[in-house]
Amino acid sequence: MKKTLLLNIPLVLVLLLTVHSCGDAVREEQRAPDRDNARSRAVEVPAFNRDSAYFFVDQQVAFGPRVPNTEAHRKAGEWLAQTLGGFADTLYIQRTRTRAYDGTVLNIKNIIGVFQPEKTSRILLCAHWDSRPYADHDPDPEKHYTPIDGANDGASGVGVLMEIARIISEKSPNVGVDIIFFDAEDYGQHQSITRPDQDSWALGSQHWARNPHRSDYNARFGILLDMVGASGATFKKEGFSMLYAANIVRKVWNIARRQGYEHYFLNREGGYITDDHYYINKIRGIPTINIIHQDETTSHGFFPEWHTTGDTMEVIDPETLKVVGQTVLAVLFSEN
């Protein structure tokens, strides 16, 4: 995904550059089916269905690489909007055109599901739904400009959040929830470019942070899910998450530990990763953390199939999806 992994650095200063957009953003608001006002108020945390989450991941990958301006991207976006809209109280589709690092004008859309919009106390959950246009870390150099399936890098986080959307449409927490699927997160510079531009990544979240679906939007905190489906995944306390929202990191990691997931959620600090959460923190001011797979055994610091043609459904482990999904559900239902 993006990402420059900066390890063992106490503070990283990243200069934000302006994202150049072409044309005006178009926001479409669609009303999802009315929900029963008598929502369930069960105190216990609902069970996360790992098979349902796996299905949601598989459905995305089946469209093919979800690269902006492609037919697979268009069809996948329609399916995501329809499915999330069936669970949410309100669905927003935030369309815009933005210029990528190579001058390509991308037609992108952020897909936003709102649950219990009447609640003023809100939690933001997010992931990116696009996939990388280049397998630029593939062991075969001939594939370095081949689009990837992005089963783990993108689809896994969306799959977990779609299952959470299904669950909270039936059993509501005591807070409002907003689920955002960001677009054009992974259309950053090709790894062959020697002068990196960190702001070439996360274009959808940069646009939303400056132009939220509601001008007065705010949330108590946010959680970003990125690469949360691989077998044996390990989630360290990511650097920018600790910088901007250390108390939320501690909250989430403590809940994971109480559930017996300490072998996934490691009590160790990881690298600073420029991801969607960085711009939500920096531009929008909402304290947001990143649950992201970090692997110190690889040269790039992520799961072995990262940005390769090997990021397929073969990588996905339903148990990892459950660990992350159950933890996030427990966080939601612990809020008053």
Q: How far apart are CA 90 and CA 54, in angstroms?
A: 25
- pLDDT at residue 13, rounded to an integer: 32
DSSP string, 108-175: EEEEEEEESTT-SSEEEEEEE----S--TT-SSGGGTTS----IIIIIHHHHHHHHHHHHHTTB--SS
CATH of 5-334, one of 3.40.630.10, 3.40.50.1860, 1.10.8.190, 3.40.640.10: 3.40.630.10
Q: How far apart are CA 306 and CA 259, in angstroms?
A: 28
Q: What angle do CA 213, 272, 333 make, to 5 degrees?
A: 50
Bridge partners of 293, per DSSP, are: 235
Q: What is the pLDDT along the chain (336 residues), one digit of tens a residue?
A: 455 444 333 333 333 333 333 433 444 445 444 443 333 343 599 999 999 999 999 999 999 999 999 999 999 999 999 999 999 999 999 999 999 999 999 999 999 999 999 999 999 999 999 999 999 999 999 999 999 999 999 999 999 999 999 999 999 999 999 999 999 999 999 999 999 899 999 999 999 999 999 999 999 999 999 999 999 999 999 999 999 999 999 999 999 999 999 999 999 999 999 999 999 999 999 999 999 999 989 999 999 999 999 999 999 999 999 999 999 999 999 998
CB of 76 closer than 8 Å to CB of 197 = no
Bridge partners of 114, per DSSP, are: 90, 178
Cβ neighbours for 24, distance < 8 A, ≥ 6 positions apart? 96
CA pseudo-torsion sign 250, 112, 189, 313: positive
Question: Could you give the count of Cα atoms lying within 13 Å of 51 in the half-sphere of its Cβ?
Answer: 0
Q: What angle do CA 215, 218, 222 make, to 5 degrees?
A: 130
Cβ neighbours for 13, distance < 8 A, ≥ 6 positions apart? none
Query: Residue 155's closest CA among 61, 78, 23, 256?
Result: 61
Query: Residue 60's closest CA among 30, 92, 90, 82?
Result: 82
What six digits make up the tokens of 114? 């709102």
Q: Where are the domains of the chain?
A: 5-334
